[in-house]
Amino acid sequence: MMLVDLDYFFAQLEELRNSALKGKPVVIGMYSGRTAESGAVSTANYEARKYGVKSGMPLFLAKRKLEGCDAIFLPVDYDYYEQVSDRLMGIFRTYSDVFEQVGIDEAYMDVTVKVHGSFEEAKVLVLRMKADVKTQVGVTFSVGVAPNKLVAKVACDVQKTDGLTVVQPDEMQGFLSPLPIDRLLGVGKKTSARMAELGVKTIGDLARFDVQHLVDIFGKTLGVYFHDAANGVDESAVKEAGEAESISRIATLKRNSRDLAFIAEMTDVLAADVHADLLKRNVGFKQIGVIAFLADITVKSRSLTLEQSTKSIEILKKTARELLQRLLEDTDKDVRRIGVKISVFSREEKTQKLLESFFGD
């Protein structure tokens, strides 16, 4: 398994289209627009990081740290970054058996079959891919190669830029053990502080810590996750994105009808049912569909994909009504049964959710 992550992504892409920036500190800012100065640092190149500039820092602070350094401040240009990201992901994908993009500049790749299970061959594949991306796009990225996703992620972060870190099965413990626990996915400042109170500072400390004790403190899911993670245990598979699951409800109307208001009463009820299920699973939806079984036994459906995933019941009901209206405009038959369906994304894993809610990390 491997994780690829582009180096100082937004800033590197600004350097890519304007080579005059190279060698200077470059800061990409998300300007809030309230005043010319207000906003936060999205990212910075490594020249700027030498002065202590970091993602998330207020822009005025970054300006202060870089005073007199001939630093360049640029606003985010998300459309451009996304365009290049799509090209990069397209290239990475061709080197994978299974490919899972997890952010604008990051993806997991399962290459087990391609490299015949050999870490040596994986290394060769990464070097080929680095050269390919360098010529085709002109950017660098760092890679972690390991027996599983969890360790690949940690490995990717230890050496940047243009890094390649390979951790073989027999090296896992020695690799993880001395690292601070915040290198583990989901362990941020607050979790680290809580762990430090328990005398747990390194991943090795955490690996040796009594699992039952962790469960008592953090609950079963997280306690077991921390224990496994520290021991380099992760069984999760690389999953192709966009494998949407759906939730749907269908009901028969009290009478056949093509009266919008009457049928919409039913789609509202179905939407509420679907929504309750959605909340239970704690996921969002992006696609809504309405299906009608007509009196002449034909079936018609309409669907819509939203710009952004949401959990809103209002949007669900309103969109279902609109789809129903469009559907009725395209037929002169009565509706006998009606259904509402949404596509949900199961990518959000339980542990990830819990980690976010537990400490806000």
Distance CA 106, CA 35 (A): 32
Bridge partners, residue 138, by sequence: none
Span near Ca ion by CB under 5 A; candidates 77-85, 104-112, 175-183, 296-304: 104-112
**What is the torsional sign of CA 2, 308, 242, 84?**
negative
Q: Which is nearer to ligand DCP, 88 or 274 (CB)?
A: 88
Report yes or no: 11 and 26 within 8 Å, Cβ to Cβ.
yes
Q: Which does 43 bind (CB under 5 to 8 A by kind): Ca ion, ligand DCP, none?
A: ligand DCP
Q: Is 235 among the residues known to form the active site?
A: no
The total of other beta-carbon atoms located within 10 Å of residue 359's CB is 18
Nearest to 335 by CA among 298, 304, 309: 298
Q: Which is nearer to ligand DCP, 46 or 119 (CB)?
A: 46
Q: Which does 293 bind (CB under 5 to 8 A by kind): Ca ion, ligand DCP, none?
A: none
Q: How far is the CB of 201 from ligand DCP (least distance, A)?
A: 23
Q: Which is nearer to ligand DCP, 153 or 317 (CB)?
A: 153
Site residues for ligand DCP per CB under 6 A? 5-10, 42-43, 55-56, 104-105, 160
The total of other beta-carbon atoms located within 10 Å of residue 338's CB is 24
Q: How far is the CB of 216 from Ca ion (least distance, A)?
A: 34
Q: Which is nearer to ligand DCP, 43 or 231 (CB)?
A: 43
Q: How far is C-alpha 135 from the geometric centre of its chain's CA atoms?
A: 27
Report yes or no: 175 and 184 within 8 Å, Cβ to Cβ.
no
Chain residue whose CB lies nearest Ca ion: 106
Query: In this structure, what token pair is assigned to residue 208?
Result: 């040796």
**For residue 295, which amino acid is it?**
A
Q: How far is the CB of 141 from ligand DCP (least distance, A)?
A: 8
Selected from 47, 106, 110, 234, the binder of Ca ion by CB under 5 A is 106
Q: Which of 14, 15, 100, 106 is catalytic?
A: 106
The total of other beta-carbon atoms located within 10 Å of residue 174's CB is 10
Contacts to Ca ion by CB under 5 A: 5-6, 9, 105-106
Q: Which of the residues are catalytic?
A: 106
